[in-house]
């Protein structure tokens, strides 16, 4: 069992543990949130009921005041009628009317001449010596009811009167009660957003728990009213012959409680993604450093014996062993190419424009001479050259690795077909074999270092191919298709990007 398969199992186990921890945390948090939300909902219902009961109390007070008002006005009308009868020529026994007037201890009365000079006053809160005339605000105050005109022997006087002091105080108290009711409903609303409107439900009287900007935004408040209406009927109030509506909704605190689990889940998910990305980047960076160090060391180690072998080749040629020297020289040249490959993979390679078809064909021609005759190679190239930015030495290595793996998968007997074609800006290379295929689970990890289907393999060839194609050439390499006991197709996708020439 290779290390990557073991690591994958541990990844799944750790992922499952993390999921269980996150799910448990979210479940417990949701439970707490539901409990808090239920308590908050109860508080909202209690608040709404309290507002309704208080509204009913205010309404009852208003009805009671209306009855008092009717009685008070009746008294005023009786007093005014008594005054009229007292000065009327038609009055008979005046004792009754004098009794009504003399028993008036509550209704303010002012008697003036035709010039509104005050002759007498009863139940008023000012001194007639300091206020000799009925003018200005005082006249306005006593002009709510039409004055009684008294004409005796050509002399005209007026009797002005108004509601009693007690009645005025009751009226002020009721108005204060209604004002305080709306104020307390808005202010002491248990963090509940409240909007008070008139009967049209469009004119806003007061708001609570909205920002200063929102309170001045009529369109926003009207939308809020529609939203509140969709979740419940408003509280209807009929006060002072006016109909008002109190719209309300759940508090911002309750809303935050409801969205908290979602935010928590998003934060945990984001944390997991960032952690995975950081660990993956660190691991890849470490792998790259290992690759680069291993490649440079391999190239360095190959350099010493190569120099020695080249010297021995020259010595053989001097002794007349030309044929042997030529063959050894070919292998030496090949070793030099391999050394260059390791040297370039350990650093940033230089890319040059090259024909992909020529590179593939050269690689296959080299492999044919060193592969069993039972393996048939077929190369299908496009009619026109496919020029792409390539590091020829490294890209040849990719083709060789794919073909060597295909030969091993076929146990040295079968066919390998290489198709090269252009698709717009892209160049596609498909390598298809008739080998034993790759399982679906293995296809996801086949390019990881150490993953191999061979008993004695190191699992480095495809990993190197992936690094060369994706990191150096900014392309893609993947298993296009694979069927067990029928074969596999590996696909390489390259893009004609001239910026790569500048970057490298």
Range from 27-36, 122-131, 247-256 carrying the lowest mean pLDDT: 247-256
Q: Residue 144: phi, psi to the nearest 5?
A: -60, -40
pLDDT value at residue 29: 75
Measured from the Cβ of residue 64, the count of other Cβ atoms closer than 10 Å reads 12
Does residue 487 lie within any of the structural domains?
yes
Cβ-Cβ contacts under 8 Å for 378 (sequence gap 6 or more): 415, 416, 417, 418
Report the domain count for the chain: 1
Question: Is residue 298's pLDDT more than 70?
Answer: no
8 Å CB contact between 416 and 377: yes
Domain of 421?
Answer: 351-503
Q: In percent, how much of the chain has pLDDT > 70?
A: 67
Does residue 434 lie within any of the structural domains?
yes
pLDDT in tens, 344-354: 665 677 888 99
In 369-496, alpha helices (H): 392-409, 440-443, 461-466
Does residue 478 lie within any of the structural domains?
yes
8 Å CB contact between 125 and 77: no
8 Å CB contact between 125 and 142: no
Question: Is residue 394's pLDDT more than 60?
Answer: yes
Question: For position 485, which CATH number holds?
Answer: 3.30.565.10
pLDDT value at residue 186: 56
Question: Is residue 172's pLDDT more than 80?
Answer: no
Residue-averaged pLDDT of the chain: 77
Question: Is residue 187's pLDDT more than 60?
Answer: no
Does residue 463 lie within any of the structural domains?
yes
Does residue 157 lie within any of the structural domains?
no
Does residue 155 lie within any of the structural domains?
no
Does residue 83 lie within any of the structural domains?
no
- Give the best-scoring range by mean pLDDT among 68-82, 110-124, 146-160, 260-274: 110-124
Does residue 248 lie within any of the structural domains?
no
What is the pLDDT averaged over residues 309-330? 69
In 92-245, alpha helices (H): 95-102, 136-141, 165-187, 212-215, 218-231
Cβ-Cβ contacts under 8 Å for 287 (sequence gap 6 or more): 449
């Amino acid at each position: 069992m290779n290390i990557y398969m073991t690591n994958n199992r541990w990844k799944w186990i750790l992922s499952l543990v993390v999921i269980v921890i996150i799910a448990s945390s979210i479940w417990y948090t949701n439970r707490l949130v539901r409990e808090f939300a239920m308590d908050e909902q109860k508080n909202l219902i209690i608040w709404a009921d309290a507002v309704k009961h208080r509204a009913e109390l205010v309404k009852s007070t208003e009805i009671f005041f209306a009855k008092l008002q009717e009685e008070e006005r009746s008294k005023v009308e009786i007093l005014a009628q008594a005054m009229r009868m007292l000065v009327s020529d038609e009055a008979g026994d005046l004792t009754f009317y004098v009794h009504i007037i003399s028993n008036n201890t509550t209704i303010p009365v002012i008697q003036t001449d035709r010039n509104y000079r005050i002759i007498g006053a009863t139940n008023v809160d000012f001194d007639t010596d300091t206020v000799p005339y009925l003018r200005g605000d005082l006249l306005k105050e006593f002009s709510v009811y039409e004055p009684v005109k008294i004409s005796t022997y050509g002399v005209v006087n007026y009797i002005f009167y108004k509601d009693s002091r007690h009645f005025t105080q009751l009226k002020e108290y009721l108005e204060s009660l209604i004002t305080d009711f709306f104020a307390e409903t808005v202010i002491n609303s248990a963090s509940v957003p409240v909007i008070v409107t008139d009967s049209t439900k469009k004119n806003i009287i007061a708001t609570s728990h909205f920002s200063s900007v929102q309170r001045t935004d009529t369109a926003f408040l009207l939308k809020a009213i529609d939203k509140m209406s969709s979740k419940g009927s408003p509280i209807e109030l009929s006060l002072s012959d006016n109909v008002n509506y109190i719209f309300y909704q759940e508090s911002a605190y309750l809303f935050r409680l409801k969205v908290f689990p979602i935010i928590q889940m998003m934060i945990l998910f984001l944390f997991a993604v960032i952690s995975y990305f950081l660990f993956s980047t660190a691991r890849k960076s470490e792998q790259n450093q290992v690759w680069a160090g291993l490649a440079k060391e391999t190239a360095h180690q190959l350099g010493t014996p190569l120099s020695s072998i080249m010297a021995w080749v020259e010595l053989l040629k001097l002794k007349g062993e030309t044929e042997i020297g030529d063959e050894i020289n070919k292998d030496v040249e090949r070793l030099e190419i391999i050394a260059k490959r390791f040297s370039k993979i350990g650093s940033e390679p230089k890319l040059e424009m090259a024909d992909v078809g020529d590179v593939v064909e050269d690689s296959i021609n080299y492999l044919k001479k060193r592969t069993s005759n039972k393996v048939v190679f077929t190369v299908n190239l496009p009619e026109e050259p496919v020029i792409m930015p390539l590091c020829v030495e490294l890209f040849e290595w990719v083709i060789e690795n794919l073909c060597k793996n295909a030969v091993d998968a076929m146990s040295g007997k079968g066919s390998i077909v290489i198709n090269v074609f252009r698709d717009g800006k892209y160049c596609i290379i498909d390598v298809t074999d008739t080998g034993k295929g790759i399982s679906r689970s293995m296809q996801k990890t086949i390019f990881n270092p150490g993953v191999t289907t061979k008993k004695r393999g190191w699992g480095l060839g495809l990993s190197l191919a992936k690094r060369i194609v994706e990191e150096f050439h900014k392309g893609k390499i993947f298993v296009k298709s694979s069927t067990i006991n029928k074969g596999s197709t590996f696909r390489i996708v390259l893009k004609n990007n001239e910026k790569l020439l500048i970057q490298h």
